[in-house]
Structure formats: structure tokens, C-alpha cells
Amino acid sequence: MLSPKSDLPNRRRVWGALSGLFVDNNLQSTRDDRVAVLAKSPYSLEELEEILVHEVLPICRWGSDYSSEPHSPIDHAWLESRILRRAKSPFGLLRRLNVGAFSSTVSEEWAATKREVLLARSRSTANGVA
């Protein structure tokens, strides 16, 4: 998988979709939009999870720096700048080893999202859409 900086057009949409896991009050209500973006992305489920765990989670898990209002959308420019700054840090590899864990709510929603991404991709393939 390309580095975040080398793959910005694809990463931006995925970062935005995945960041919703950390701010939305009702994760199920936003799942369809998240699934649509992730299913159309060029990344495998394993790569999407790697992006979630190593790029989005370390920035979004605390939820206080990106907005003054709880549950408001994350500013995508802010998110991108933080992810890219973290990616170029000389301590990036060390940070990858200690990213923390999902909350149970995010973990459950991520599992449901992955199932639906697989379904959406299989429907696209069955309909002849790549």
C-alpha cells in the first residue's frame, strides 16, 4: 500500500468515512454512507483496517482536539494535516506499535461496516461493476 502522502486522492475519502466512527452519535445511521465510500475505495478490507488503526484512530480516538462541539464532524483538512504529520514523524514506527484499542462501540460498528463493504463489493462484482 502506498504511503498516505503518495495516495492522497484515495486516502482523503477513506479518512473522512472512517473518522465518522469517532464522532457520530448513531453510527448505524451513518453506516450506509461510510460503506459506500469504503466499498468504492481501492483498498482491501485489511488495508482499510490498517488505515483505520494506524492513521485515523491515533488522531481521532480522544475526540477533543478537532472540534469545540461534541459529535460535530471532523474537519477533514485538520485530520489530513495531523495524519500526514504523524506519518512523517521519525517515531512513526514506534507509534504504530502502541496505537491503543477501539472502544467496544467502534469495534462493533467497524465489524458491521466490514461485513457491509464485503456485501457491497460482491454486489458490484455480480452486476459487472468493477
pLDDT of residue 17: 93
Q: Which residues contact 129 (CB under 8 A, 6 or more apart)?
A: none
The whole-number mean pLDDT for each consecutive block of 10 residues of the chain, a chain of 130 residues, reads: 90 93 75 94 95 89 52 80 85 54 78 95 78
pLDDT of residue 75: 86
pLDDT of residue 104: 74
Its pTM surpasses 0.95: no
The set of cell numbers assigned to 27 is: 453510527
**Alpha carbon separation from 35 to 18, 22, 85, 104 (Å, rounded):** 10, 15, 27, 19
pLDDT of residue 65: 47
